[in-house]
Structure 1
Amino acid sequence: MQNKNSMMTKLAFLSVSFMLTSAYAVQSALPQLKASLNVTQTQSEYLATTPSFAVMIFVVLSPLLQQWFKISDKKMIMIGVTIVGVMGLVPFFNIHSYPIILGSRLLLGAGYGLYNSQAISMISVWYEDETRAQMLGWRAAAEQIGQAFTLFLAGLLLTMSGWHASFLIYALAFVVLIFFGLRVPDDAKAEKVEEQVKEEVEETVDDFDTDDIKKTSPTVYLLVLFAFLLVVDYVGMENRFPGLAVNIKGAQYTGASNFLSLMLIGATLGGLFYGSIQKRLGFGTVYLGLGLMAVSNFLFYFAGSNFVVLVIGLLLIGFPLQLVSPLIFNLLPNLAPAKRQPLVTSMVLIGFNFGAFFSPSIAEWTNHLMGQPTSGYGLAAPFLVYGIGLLVIAAIIFFATRRQATK
């Protein structure tokens, strides 16, 4: 049996999270995919966002499947990672059918959804106290690092061998599968899990009995909508940047993945500094975040043929997003009873995933409303509306909270 406290075993636990955000790794290849498959801009963007739809479904189904078929966390994770590897590689094999590639991307998301929650729960079961907290923090960092690395590697493969080669990055799933399978202990620790679940149920009942909050506030549904809109903007910018970069630099430009990777550094910094900024500004953090996101959108829209301004707009958006999204989760404990916290948290997560999935269609609808084409510089058109929308949301929040405070 492997020593759970060895660095190699800890890395094995974290390795599965490294692949969880690799769905967006092929975003830099979207212009080439669009041209090769002869599809619209929106159809090409759905190749990046479709996995999010399947993730939503299978995150819910995964615990049920696990219970029905009596599958341990480790085996469920290995099944999910295997599906990611197999389905992720499908477009690599010189396939030029859009429906087949879209279908493989949908099943790729199913793989992520099957093991998303288990990647967290296994750490919670096997580790305790400070080590558990440390591992959960490292797990979140592994997602960011994984997305940045796979974006960079997919871009490199795109430059060297074309868009088919970009999908070769999913071969990393099999490396992760072997490493995880060999290093993570097989013992399911069933007794400990059963005891822990029993304690959590008892604590939940006790909390509910003494909870001052008796019903879910309607504000929760507004936060779900808020989460949806934030990710529509963020993922939309990720999807549209490669096309705008090619429009400025020329059809042969394949360096978009480098900047998409750097974009994640801003998001990571936002997460790291959220605590200290929130401590200083309190609820004012939401205004700072929305304001910076609006500036990012305006830079992206007004960049025109200026590639440097376009890149600054792209790199800026990740930092404020990570100031606003944690605040949403921090507000939930005051908006619903303890018994309903898992439900409202899941609702917000679904809001984020729905936003990612529908981002291409919302961007396309915004283009049509503005009378702008979904090509050339028209790709930047939605971000003027998004930027103004963020400022309107900030104003609504300000006046609503001010009015509530004066009551």
Structure 2
Amino acid sequence: MKIILEKISLLGLSFMLVSTFAISPLLPEMTAAYTAAGISLNQIDFLLSVPSFMIIAVLLASPYLSRFLTEKLIFVLGLLCISLGGSLPALTQDYPLVLMSRLVLGLGIGLINERAITIISQHYSGSERAKMLGIRGSTEVLGSATLTFLAGQLLRGSWSSGFLIYLLGLPLLGFYLLFGNAKSDDKSKVANRPKKAKTTLSARQVWHIVFMALYAGSVILINTGITIRLPMLVEELKLGTAIDSSLILSLMMLMGILAGTLFASLMAHFRQFLQPLVLLALALGLVLIWLAPNLVFLAIGALTTGFVYSIGVTSVFHRLSEILRTNQLALGTTLVLLGCNLGGGMAASVVSFLSTMSGSNSNLFLTLAILCFIAGLVLLLPLLVKRQPDRAI
């Protein structure tokens, strides 16, 4: 039982890592309130994206913070920043203070982002590591879906009440302190000792990390783009209401839970072919959305993308644990997370540009599908060529 509670406590650290956009159900009322007060739409949009930039800044500073902060203290500070900073707009809706609260939220997520992933790779190995990484990815998705749903329910009071969702970080902190910090302290003590093992990355390792950062960032950019544009597509094609769009997006997020439970099996079966197949499956889902004659067809496409998105991102961190030594994982994970956050932060601008170039939100999905298909083939063909001599033998 103790081992199970320990695993839950470590997995719980990932529950709020993708909570930046969980307040999206609040946007219509929030926008109306701020525009009436003379706040521009660009300033309101900035409230959504600013945590991502703070996360990137903290990730860049992470190696220096680790020199004088223990792993336990970093988790405590991170969860406190998420909980108290994230929920501040429930008390005051003054724009500068809300902006500050979003910065503090990004600070908290940035502090625990890399460590919530590497702590799994450090504590587990082999098939158990793959299983735990898959469940960790599911935990992220479950957290995003849960917080988004709760924010919508709290909207019945007022739009500012939706920010109370971030207080869920406090029970997660308590659970970690009770069951998960023993191993973390041991690891942090080891991490703070002078290391004899070489931590410098080889040129080959750097190339793999750059590729995985680009891969993860691209997959996240596409998934975020779907999240942003799918409600507008439903309205544009008159396939349903905003409530229908919200339900599809929630189900799309929850597909990540299924993806997490199946990840270890899929990784064992497809191995190096998994990442290119993810891109091809993403292309298929995007085509289904583009062709959708009705809401059900569109939902199938969205659920397909939600499933393979989680598989793709989890495969990146699993691959990291295979090519890097334990004392290199923190640096490698940080670099990949920079790519992830850049992809998420750039999503709105990229999809806006592509939709303008393609002429409509519908054609945007076709454009993304073509790009995914080409990228998938580029990754898949060299692997197929490598296998040809093996078959001949």
Normalised-by-shorter TM-score class = 0.7 to 0.9
So what's the TM-score if we normalise by structure 1? 0.75
Q: CA deviation at 1:343?
A: 4.2
Is 2:163 the counterpart of 1:167? Answer: yes
Does the 8 Å CA contact 1:30/1:242 hold for their aligned counterparts?
no
Q: For 2:204 and 2:192, how far apart are their aligned partners in 1?
A: 24
The match for 1:352 is 340
Q: CA deviation at 1:82?
A: 1.7
Is 2:250 the counterpart of 1:261? Answer: yes
What count of residue pairs does the alignment treat as equivalent?
384
Q: For 2:267 and 2:11, how far apart are their aligned partners in 1?
A: 28
SS in 1 for 2:146: helix
Please show how residues 311-326 of structure 1 align to structure 2 within 5 Å. Answer: 311-326=299-314
Q: CA deviation at 1:233?
A: 0.4
Is 2:93 the counterpart of 1:95? Answer: yes
Sort the Cα spacing of 1:49 and 1:318 in 2 relative to 1 into closer, same or farther, 3 A: farther
Please show how residues 112-127 of structure 1 align to structure 2 within 5 Å. Answer: 112-119=109-116
Query: Which structure 2 residue ranges, 5 or more long, are not aligned?
Result: none
Percent identical pairs in the alignment equals 27
1:236 to 217, 221, 225: 225
Does the 8 Å CA contact 1:62/1:115 hold for their aligned counterparts?
no
Q: For 1:96 and 1:320, how far apart are their aligned partners in 2?
A: 40
Does the 8 Å CA contact 1:58/1:110 hold for their aligned counterparts?
yes
Structure 1, residues 24-49: CA drift from partner, whole Å, max 9, x if none? 32233334444544488877665444
Sort the Cα spacing of 1:7 and 1:35 in 2 relative to 1 into closer, same or farther, 3 A: same
The match for 1:387 is 369
SS in 2 for 1:266: helix
1:82 to 80, 84, 100: 80
Q: For 1:49 and 1:30, how far apart are their aligned partners in 2?
A: 13
Q: For 1:123 and 1:333, how far apart are their aligned partners in 2?
A: 10
Sort the Cα spacing of 1:185 and 1:320 in 2 relative to 1 into closer, same or farther, 3 A: closer
Sort the Cα spacing of 1:217 and 1:26 in 2 relative to 1 into closer, same or farther, 3 A: closer
Q: For 2:300 and 2:42, how far apart are their aligned partners in 1?
A: 24
Sort the Cα spacing of 1:279 and 1:371 in 2 relative to 1 into closer, same or farther, 3 A: same
Q: For 1:333 and 1:171, how far apart are their aligned partners in 2?
A: 32
Structure 1, residues 166-210: CA drift from partner, whole Å, max 9, x if none? 2221122234345545x25887986775457669x44557xx9xx
The match for 2:358 is 370
So what's the TM-score if we normalise by structure 2? 0.77
Q: CA deviation at 1:152?
A: 1.7
Sort the Cα spacing of 1:334 and 1:184 in 2 relative to 1 into closer, same or farther, 3 A: closer
Q: For 1:333 and 1:189, how far apart are their aligned partners in 2?
A: 18
Range that drifts further, 38-47 or 171-180:
38-47
Task: State the superposition RMSD in angstroms.
Answer: 4.2
Q: For 2:323 and 2:100, how far apart are their aligned partners in 1?
A: 39
Sort the Cα spacing of 1:366 and 1:80 in 2 relative to 1 into closer, same or farther, 3 A: same
Sort the Cα spacing of 1:291 and 1:91 in 2 relative to 1 into closer, same or farther, 3 A: same
Is 2:265 the counterpart of 1:276? Answer: yes
Sort the Cα spacing of 1:344 and 1:11 in 2 relative to 1 into closer, same or farther, 3 A: closer
Does the 8 Å CA contact 1:80/1:111 hold for their aligned counterparts?
yes
SS in 1 for 2:14: helix
1:285 to 238, 252, 274: 274
Does the 8 Å CA contact 2:70/2:185 hold for their aligned counterparts?
no
Q: For 1:91 and 1:400, how far apart are their aligned partners in 2?
A: 51
Range that drifts further, 347-356 or 171-180:
171-180
